[in-house]
């Protein structure tokens, strides 16, 4: 389920530019389907492709887009909220 009010009112999302929000949403979609769920590879080349931006743009927007993700002991980026929804 997608919760538009929660998404739009999240302080991290409110701090993002429109380009960052689009990249973030695409990454959330990929993280939902990942193994383990709610995670992404910690690889800028892969992340820029998944976010559908070139490497230069990714370098410019990365910091804001990845704020809600945390690096796990497995070396992958994890979204706590997405995992709660997945479970």
What is the arithmetic mean of pLDDT over 11-35? 96
Q: What was the pLDDT predicted at 52?
A: 98
Give me the helices (H) in the chain, please. Answer: 4-9, 11-14, 18-32, 44-50, 55-65, 80-86
Residue 1 clears pLDDT 80, i.e. is over it: no
- Residue 42 contacts residue 75 (beta carbons within 8 Å): yes
Instruction: Tell me the average pLDDT across 7-24.
Output: 94
Task: Evaluate whether 37 touches 31 at the Cβ level (below 8 Å).
Answer: yes
Phi, psi of 13 (to 5 degrees): -65, -40
Share of the chain above pLDDT 90, in %: 87
Backbone φ and ψ of 24, nearest 5°: -60, -45
At 2, the pLDDT band (50, 70, 90 cuts) reads: confident
d(CA 45, CA 52): 11
């Amino acid at each position: 389920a997608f919760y538009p009010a929660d998404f739009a009112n999240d302080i991290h999302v409110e701090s993002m530019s429109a380009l960052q929000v689009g990249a973030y949403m695409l990454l959330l979609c990929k993280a939902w389907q990942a193994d383990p769920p709610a995670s992404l590879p910690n690889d800028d080349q892969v992340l820029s492709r998944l976010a559908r931006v070139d490497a230069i743009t990714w370098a410019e927007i990365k910091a804001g887009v990845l704020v809600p993700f945390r690096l796990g002991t497995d070396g992958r980026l994890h979204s706590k909220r997405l995992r709660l929804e997945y479970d």
